[in-house]
Chain A
Amino acid sequence: MLDKLVLYMQYPFVRYALIVGVLIALCSSLLGVTLVLKRFSYIGDGLSHVAFGAISIAAVLNLSNDMILVMPVTIISAILLLRTGQNAKIKGDAAIAMISVGALAFGYLIMNIFSTSSNLTGDVCSTLFGSTSILTLTQKEVWLCIILSIAVVIIFILFYNKIFAVTFDEDFAKATGTKADAYNLLIAIVIAIIIVLAMNLVGSLLISALVIFPALSAMRIFRSFKMVTVFSAILSVICALLGIIISILAGTPVGSTIVAADVVAFAICCLIGAVTGGVRK
């Protein structure tokens, strides 16, 4: 089995997949903690559907580089969702559900009406589930992903304390003069970037899993924000690595395999949490 792995490693597309997979897992887990705590667990799902809608429009318009359209549209949606946050007439979860389902429907509708490809179901399926697109990355895409990931990690570290303050108690942060709105905006933009990146890896349907599972798993075991964040990043990277390697060896779909690994990790963390929690009390 090791021989097989070494053999596969010689192919650049396998190495690319590993690099990109690990980076995306890392980035998505970093903000996962904040999103889960802000009750925005499902934003990954909603935004990825928005991105799906944007991709289908880009496909119809025959844009050679669909990122020009997808990135801004997703960022704007993220800002709208997170900014309206707590005081909106339509609450967070309902707003996400609306945008998510609406964008999905429109995306599919547009693809159906203006379809240029003969294999429509296949196209939709691969956009939603990611299918094999992580194995067909070009060198340019890998570099883009590396640069954006580094940017996300640096931003996260620099703003870590501010993100904590704004997540834990937005009112207090605002009242004492922290520019909470600006940081919420920053969080929204970073999330949108991560989600557009992650669509390549697991497809839009499974992005939520990448955002939620590592954070929830870490919250089972650890009791400080720092440890939860660090552990969820490590866990997410390990699951992504495992998932990609297994999918290569066993020929399973990449996205689903990674998520399956995340689910197993969550179950293990629950057990550990139950045991250690029992000991503490």
Chain B
Amino acid sequence: MALLTIKDLSLGYDSRVIVENLNFAVNAGDYLCIIGENGSGKSTLMKTLLGLQEQIGGEIIPGDGLQKNEIGYLPQQNLVQKDFPASVKEIVISGCQARCGLRPFYTKSEKQMAKDNMAKMGITDLANRCYRELSGGQQQRVLLARALCATQKVLLLDEPVSGLDPRVTIEMYSLIENLNREGITVIMISHDIAAAVKYASHILHIGDSIFYGTKDEYLESDAGKFFLMQQKGGEK
């Protein structure tokens, strides 16, 4: 059974429907890219998948023993975090919070896990630095390490490379690719169709027409062909 099965999902807010009849499934190990224009409902879909927002209709069915809180999340930066005085260490370990329940403090194994994840993201030497003084790419690594503390199964990434320069963008993509190779299912929202086509195994295109399928199917589809055409046009 799939990790997440999305059935006839309708999205929107205040009962205004943005996207209707969304059907797709995410299997363990998939790398799904959700692409679409601004305002097409990408972020709303992500919020609904995370349970931050109620869907208008349809169902999200978790499978394979996936708990609702086993989805790690890499949010877009919010305003509060811009001047938040917190060290990298504090932020990474806060990813373990959900596992704590009512237990007030972190256990040894959770602290170790935070360390391991910082090492994995290559930010061990930043552990005591202040988050707001880091560069955009470093901040994303911190938040990714935190998301890894929350889950080992599924990661939802909301525009993980927005605002990063090209070199750091490539680093970020290869970091995500490595995580995916290690068996973590990745669901990524992106503007960057070129990267989606390059890295993803599956693509969900929302907008006027909805497309869901593997990358190869996407490249054969109308939307994909349109994109490829644009891309060639752009390169000329």
Contact = CB atoms under 8 A, between A and B. Distances in A.
Instruction: Tell whether A and B belong to one assembly.
Output: yes
Interface of A: 33, 37-39, 157-162, 164-165, 167-169, 171-178, 218-219, 222-226, 228
Contacts of B75: 169, 171-172
Interface in B80-107: 80-81, 83-87, 89-91, 94-95, 97-98, 100, 104-106
Contact of B85 (A165, A172, A228): A228
B73 A176 contact: yes
Nearest to A38: B80
B98 A176 contact: yes
A224 B94 CA distance: 13
B113 interface: no
A226 B97 contact: no
Nearest to A159: B104
Given A160-B104, A176-B71, A176-B72, A168 B85 contact: no
B87 A161 contact: no
Nearest to A223: B130
Contacts of B68: 177
B51 interface: yes
Contacts of A161: 94, 97, 100, 104-106
A136 B10 CA distance: 63
Contact of A168 (B69, B73, B91): B91
Interface of B: 47, 50-52, 67-69, 71-73, 75, 78-81, 83-87, 89-91, 94-95, 97-98, 100, 104-106, 128-130, 132-133, 146-147, 150-151, 156
22 contacts: A37-B84, A159-B104, A160-B104, A161-B106, A162-B104, A168-B94, A171-B47, A171-B73, A172-B73, A172-B75, A172-B95, A174-B50, A175-B73, A176-B73, A176-B98, A177-B98, A218-B85, A223-B132, A224-B85, A225-B85, A226-B87, A228-B85
Nearest to A229: B85
B16 to A, nearest CB: 15
A8 to B, nearest CB: 38
A28 to B, nearest CB: 18
A216 B129 CA distance: 19
Contacts of B90: 164, 224-226
A35 B75 CA distance: 22
Contacts of B104: 157-162
Nearest to B130: A223
Contacts of A219: 83, 85
Contacts of A223: 85, 87, 129-130, 132-133
B85 A176 contact: no
B80 A178 contact: no
A256 B99 CA distance: 45
Contacts of A172: 73, 75, 95, 146-147, 150
B158 to A, nearest CB: 10
Sort A-B residue pairs by CB-CB distance and give the 9 closest, nearest first: A177-B69, A223-B130, A224-B87, A175-B50, A177-B98, A176-B98, A165-B97, A176-B150, A158-B104
A168 B69 CA distance: 18
A224 B128 contact: yes
Given A38-B80, A173-B97, A176-B98, A164 B106 contact: no
Contacts of A218: 85
A169 B81 contact: yes
Given A38-B80, A176-B98, 6 more contacts: A37-B83, A172-B150, A175-B69, A223-B87, A224-B86, A224-B128
Contacts of A175: 50-52, 69, 71, 73, 156
